[in-house]
Amino acid sequence: MRIDKAPWAPPARPTGSRPGLGDHKPRSWPALAAVLGALSLLTVGYISTFTRVTIVDGDTLHVLHTHQETVGGVLREAGLNLLPQDVVNPPPDTPINHNLSIFVQRARRVQVRIDNAEPIVLLTQSRSAQQVLDSLGYSIGENDLLKVNGQFTSDLPPIKPATATDIVADIEFRHAAELIIHDEGGPPSTINTTAPTIGEALMQAGYIIYLADNVRPALSQQVKPGTYVFIERSKPMTIRVDGREVRTRTHRAIVADVLADLNIVLYGADRVTPPLNTPVEPNMEIRVTRVSHDIVINQDVIPFDTRWAGNPDMELDTQGLAQEGAPGIRERRTLITYEDGVEVKRETIADLVVREPQPRIYNYGTKIVVRTLDTPNGPVQYWRVLRMLATSYSASTAGVATSRPWYGRARCGMAMRHGIVAVDPRVIPLGTNVYVEGYGPGYACDTGSAILGKRIDLGYDDNNLVLWYRWTNVYLLPPVPDKVKYILD
The angle subtended at Cα 200 by Cα 150 and Cα 252, nearest 5°, is 160
Is 318 part of any domain? yes
Q: What is the CATH number of the domain that holds 52?
A: 3.10.20.30
pLDDT higher at 398 or 165: 398
Residues 1 and 101 in one domain: yes
pLDDT for 133 beyond 90: no
For residue 85, name the pLDDT band (cuts at 50, 70, 90): confident
75 by Cβ neighbours in 10 Å (0-12 / 13-18 / 19+) ranks as buried
pLDDT above 60 for 42: no
Instruction: Return the pLDDT at 136.
Output: 84
Structure confidence at residue 1 (pLDDT): 41
Residue 399 and residue 305 share a domain:
no
Which pLDDT score, from 0 to 100, does residue 165 have?
Answer: 58
- Residue 181 shares a structural domain with residue 197: yes
- Whether residue 402 lies inside any domain: the answer is yes
Residues 101 and 187 in one domain: no
- Examine the domain organization and report whether 332 and 272 are in the same domain: no
Residue 23 counted as domain residue: no
Residue closest to 299 by CA, chosen among 336, 329, 327? 329
Reduced to 3 states, what is the DSSP secondary structure of residue 43? helix
Query: In terms of residues, how long is the chain?
Result: 489
The predicted pLDDT at position 40 comes to: 63
Whether 18 shows a pLDDT value over 70: the answer reads no
Transcribe 288-349 into DSSP letters: EE-EEEEEEEEEEEE---EEEEEEEEEETT-EEEEE--B-EEEEEEEEEEEETTEEEEEEEE
Last residue of a domain, one of 190, 208, 232: 232
Kindly state the helix (H) or strand (E) to which residue 354 belongs, with its residue range.
strand 342-355
Can you give the pTM of this predicted structure?
A: 0.47
State which amino acid sits at residue 5: K
CATH of the domain at 190: 3.10.20
Could you tell me if 372 and 358 lie in one domain?
no
Which residue range(s) make up the domain with 140?
A: 108-174
pLDDT digits over 394-406, tens only? 999 988 888 888 8
Residues 112, 173: Cα–Cα separation, whole Å: 8
Same domain (yes/no): 3, 82? yes
What mean pLDDT do residues 297-305 have?
A: 95
pLDDT surpassing 70 at residue 37: no
In this predicted structure, which of 19-33, 39-53, 366-380 has the lowest mean pLDDT?
19-33
* Three-class secondary structure of residue 47 per DSSP: helix
- Whether 482 shows a pLDDT value over 60: the answer reads yes
Domain boundary (174, 190, 222) is at 174
pLDDT of residue 307: 93
- Enumerate the β-bridge partners of residue 297: 333
Task: State mean pLDDT over 186-195.
Answer: 87
- 24 lies in a domain? no
Q: How far apart are CA 340 and CA 166, in angstroms?
A: 70
Is the pLDDT at 3 greater than 70? The verdict is no
> Which one of 34-43, 105-114, 272-281 scores highest in mean pLDDT?
272-281
pLDDT-above-90 percentage for the chain: 49
pLDDT (0 to 100) of residue 32: 73
Assign 135 a pLDDT band (cuts: 50, 70, 90).
Answer: confident
Min mean pLDDT across 31-45, 198-212, 434-448, 471-485 is at: 31-45
**How many domains in the chain?**
6
| Domain co-membership, 397 together with 459 | yes
246 and 224 assigned to the same domain = no
3-state secondary structure of 54: strand
Report pLDDT for 387: 97
Determine the 3-state secondary structure of 247 from DSSP: strand
Type of residue found at 273: T
Residues 260 and 242 in one domain: yes
CATH of the domain at 352: 2.20.230.10
| Strands (DSSP E) found in 155-211 | 169-174, 177-183, 189-193
Residue 340 lies in a domain: yes
Which contacts (CB < 8 Å, 24+ apart) does range 77-82 have? 77/1, 80/55, 80/104, 81/161
How much is the mean pLDDT over the chain?
Answer: 86
Radius of gyration of the chain (CA): 71
Structure confidence at residue 414 (pLDDT): 94
Residue 18 lies in a domain: no
Mean pLDDT value across residues 22-42: 61
Instruction: Indicate whether 320 pLDDT > 60.
Output: yes
Q: Are residues 59 and 70 in the same domain?
A: yes
pLDDT of amino acid 284 = 93
- pLDDT value of residue 22: 44
Highest mean pLDDT among 10-14, 171-175, 304-308: 304-308
- Please tell me the predicted confidence (pLDDT) of residue 214: 86
Residue pair 368/316 in contact by the 8 Å Cβ criterion: yes
Helices (H), 249-295: 255-261
Judgement on whether residues 251 and 282 belong to the same structural domain of the protein: yes
What letters, b where the CB count within 10 A reaches 16 and e where it falls short, cover 337-370? eeeeeeeeeeeeeeeeeeeebebbbbbbbbeeee
* Residue 487 domain-assigned (yes or no): no
Q: Please check whether residue 20 lies inside any domain of the structure.
A: no
